[in-house]
Amino acid sequence: MQTPEEYEVSQRIGLLIKGLKHKHGMSREDICRHLGIGMRTLDNYLNGVSSFKLGTLMKFADLCRVKLADILDDTEALSRLYPDNMKDKGSILTLLFGSLATAMLFESLTLFLLIMLLCYSYKDKNNQCMVAIFVVIYALSNAFGYWLKYVVFPAAANSFIQNVYAFSINLALSLFLLFLIKYRMKFAVLITRGRSSEVFEKSLVEAPLYFLALILAVVDFCALIENFIRNLDRLGMDEEKVKIFWELTFFYDYYEYLKAPLMLLSIALLYAGVLARKRNTQQPQSA
């Protein structure tokens, strides 16, 4: 039987296992395989029937990318691994963005709003071309999201590889968005075959949208680099020397919360651009 202190550690490990399932999609079988124990042994540990062995605790700490002392003392480093971590943040805005952005529902909703805005601006070829750029990017983002979830992630060896794919694809899409915005007029001429002079007019929201796209690219780049730094041991460096980077998880933890407001702000700017041009075109008629 476990002592009260050992049982408290076991309950903590139970929460961490839920966190591994929630964030990395790891099953109990996967966890047992990494720990080198059987399912019944793990159940005995978590139910307080028997005590965790030191070697098993060390393997579990490595699996969670934290130090053994963090698990024993329940330090702040563990809070990011608990499945209900964001419920303790106390921010309604964070909860809203988190519950939406962590699921592909947010991406799908964003794409739906953009398509609606594309239809709304059908008489304004200038803004319609700008909206179409974002529609293309978020349609690709949705497609790649499902490809990652159902093809790449199940086949990936670990979360490091999963994150490399995810952050790299998002960075590529953000850079593509920058490229399309910068050369919007050229693409607009090709699409409209030069039949609309509106596409040559400068949009008031073009510069702010380019700036937002640049921030999105920076967030994706930082998340990708952080993923490599946090997993330097997987790249051949000495594990003891790189353990200090295991807690470098700012962009990993807050990735969705950083990108979601930028996505919503982009839609708001696009809508403001459509309204502004509609108002400008209606003024001469009223005069």
Amino acid 128: pLDDT? 81
Give CA–CA dist 257/97, Å, rounded.
6
Amino acid 95: pLDDT? 39
Judged against a pLDDT cut of 60, whether residue 287 lies above it is answered with no
Average pLDDT over residues 254-276: 88
Amino acid 23: pLDDT? 64
Judged against a pLDDT cut of 50, whether residue 146 lies above it is answered with yes
Closest to 274 in 3D by CA, of 110, 116, 106, 107: 116
Judged against a pLDDT cut of 70, whether residue 242 lies above it is answered with yes
Res. 157 pLDDT band, cuts 50 70 90: low
Average pLDDT, the chain: 79
User: CATH fold of 4-84, please?
Assistant: 434 Repressor (Amino-terminal Domain) (1.10.260)
For the full predicted model, state whether its pTM sits above 0.75: no
Structural contact between residues 61 and 71, judged by C-beta atoms closer than 8 angstroms: yes
Identify the top-confidence range among 62-66, 92-96, 131-135. Answer: 131-135
Structural contact between residues 223 and 251, judged by C-beta atoms closer than 8 angstroms: yes
Q: Which two tokens stand for residue 129?
A: 């071309």
Average pLDDT over residues 262-278: 87
Average pLDDT over residues 226-235: 86
% of the chain residues with pLDDT over 90: 23
Query: Residue 26: which region, alpha, beta or left (left: phi > 0; alpha: psi -120 to 50)?
Result: beta
